[in-house]
Chain A
Amino acid sequence: MSYFSDIYNGVKTLLTGMSVTGKYFLHSRKGAITQQYPDNRATLQMFERFRGEVVMPHDEKNEHRCTGCQKCELACPNGSIEIIWDRQIDPETGKKKKMIDKHIYHLGMCTMCSLCIEACPTDAIKWAQNFENSVYDRTYLTRVLNKPGSKVVPGLED
């Protein structure tokens, strides 16, 4: 008789399984987890800590907070950050001071490990929430973070 009870029990488990999927089928309108991505761009909000890309915020006077200390460059595990700097005369104090010429960031090499941002003593760089980073040519992924003509916030020391 176990032959028939086997069949009975087997069919019962199959029907239980079908009831699970059936339940979802009936609630398919509400339960859909699909994100219709390009359509929901307007409402899509990334979390504030999301690591999209490294940016350097500038204030309205076109000033950034990077003193050129190169700690981020040292912290970066794969050389995504290059800082070109030279010593210029600080207009306020008249002394020679290390200043960045270009803060170059290779997004294509970045692993989003956040070590540079942790290392930065002046909070000059931070994460942006932008995630649409695809480009047709990988040279576009190399970015200069400080805007042309920008200066460091006066009086900032590392």
Chain B
Amino acid sequence: MDTTITNNFKSEEYQINMGPQHPATHGVLRLLLTIDGEIIKRVEPDLGYIHRSIEKMCERDSYQQIVHLTDRMDYLSSHINNEAVCLTVENALQLEIPERVKVIRTIIAELTRIASHTLWWGVMGMDVGALTTYFYGFRDREMINDIFEETCGARLTMNYNIPGGLMFDIHPNFVKRTKEFIAHFKTKLPEYDLLLSNNIIFRKRMEGIGILTKEDAISFGASGPVGRASGYSCDVRKHHSYSAYDKVTFNEILKTEGDTYARYQVRILEMWESLSIIEQLIDNIPEGEFFAKTNTVIKLPEGEYYQKVETARGELGVYIVSTGTKNPYRMKFRSPGFSNLSLLNHIAVGGKIGDLVATMATLDLVIPDIDR
């Protein structure tokens, strides 16, 4: 595709196409690798294979309709994406949101995070060659998906939020099922460690590769577990608290190694924190309305609105520029995956092909999130 690069070749180097169809790129990411033997010299991502121009579509849609588009960005944290848009709109309208909505949103957001991390864990194992993890991860995720399906009607693209609150109240079984899940998952999560985290082969493969320093993490705009594994305190839930996160106590997991194993550990430990957040909230869902009344046609006052939330992958920013009409004038999603992908070249160079796969797995890229 690129003739200029070909001319600069050293004689030993060759180029290889990883993707758009490749088991390790989890979607349609195409990486153009320049390799010397097994050693990566350069990684150039080629994007846009599923770009749907959601930002342009948003300029056409009403605010209620925008919410469902964000399901299709980072589909593994679709609820949190919905929440981000709704929060932006609610802040712009200065709506008073019922406490019940905030708590339910937070519980579902944390369940989404666990679901996303269990899927990541399964796929992470598969990327390094331990195929069994995939099924163990999916078994646990399935329980969360059932909870979602019962309450929201959909398993993945839930569209449960509307500007002003929730589309409908939680299902009567929601609390019971969530408690069942917590009890189940508390017995299964230690197994994750026994099976994979402590495994000598796994640790040898993960430790000391793909190192990202704190300065680079900040400069590359790394967020979520990727940033926190480098010692960069970037949890939006802590620093720019939203929904019901100010009511719960939880730790921000920080590691300083910045390598692949640190990123892995951050996610595993984050699942414990999410469990504790859910436990704190699940018995204390306040009674009340599940939505605040909004106009059927929502018109945001003229101005600019920015809201960040912490998705399973990191910091999602929603930037709305409104001119006072029923559609946004410009809508920008600052997706975590996009920034996290941009540092791939920085940390993968010098490693082997196997390292690249492991590194990419711990960046936890979701391609629709990058392509939008």
Direct contact of A and B (CB under 8 A): yes
- For residue A143, CB closer than 8 A to chain B, the reply is no
Q: Would you give the 0/1 interface string for A32-53, flagging 1 where the beta carbon is closer than 8 Å to chain B?
A: 0100000000000001011100
A157 to B273 CA separation, bound complex (whole angstroms):
51
Q: Which of A7-15, A83-91, A94-102 contacts B (4 or more CB under 8 A)?
A: A7-15
Interface size on B, residues (CB 8 A): 36
Contacts A17-B194, A47-B153: A33 and B139 contacting too (C-beta < 8 A)? yes
Which positions 26-69 of chain B face chain A at CB distance < 8 Å? 61, 64-65, 67-69
- For residue A150, CB closer than 8 A to chain B, the reply is no
A12 to B138 CA separation, bound complex (whole angstroms):
27
A11 to B201 CA separation, bound complex (whole angstroms):
10
**CB of A24 to closest CB in B, whole Å:** 8
Contacts A21-B132, A77-B69: A14 and B157 contacting too (C-beta < 8 A)? no
Which residues of the other chain, A, contact B241 by a CB distance below 8 angstroms? none
Partner of A10 from B64, B151, B195, B200 at Cβ < 8 Å: B200
- For residue B159, CB closer than 8 A to chain A, the reply is yes
- For residue A75, CB closer than 8 A to chain B, the reply is yes
Interface size on A, residues (CB 8 A): 25
**CB of B188 to closest CB in A, whole Å:** 10
Assess whether B198 is in contact with A20, with CB atoms less than 8 Å apart. no
A14 to B154 CA separation, bound complex (whole angstroms):
39
- For residue B240, CB closer than 8 A to chain A, the reply is no
Contacts A16-B198, A17-B196: A75 and B149 contacting too (C-beta < 8 A)? no
A115 to B171 CA separation, bound complex (whole angstroms):
19
- For residue B316, CB closer than 8 A to chain A, the reply is no
A11 to B199 CA separation, bound complex (whole angstroms):
9
Assess whether B200 is in contact with A77, with CB atoms less than 8 Å apart. no
Contacts A33-B135, A114-B167: A77 and B191 contacting too (C-beta < 8 A)? no
Assess whether B201 is in contact with A14, with CB atoms less than 8 Å apart. yes
Partner of B61 from A20, A50, A77, A118 at Cβ < 8 Å: A77
Which residues of the other chain, B, contact A13 by a CB distance below 8 angstroms? 198-200, 203
Which residues of the other chain, B, contact A33 by a CB distance below 8 angstroms? 135, 138-139, 142
Which residues of the other chain, B, contact A16 by a CB distance below 8 angstroms? 194, 198-199
Residue of B nearest to A35 (CB): B142
Please indicate which of the listed interface residues B71, B139, B152, B200 has the most CB atoms of chain A within 10 Å of its own CB.
Answer: B200
Which positions 26-73 of chain A face chain B at CB distance < 8 Å? 33, 47, 49-51
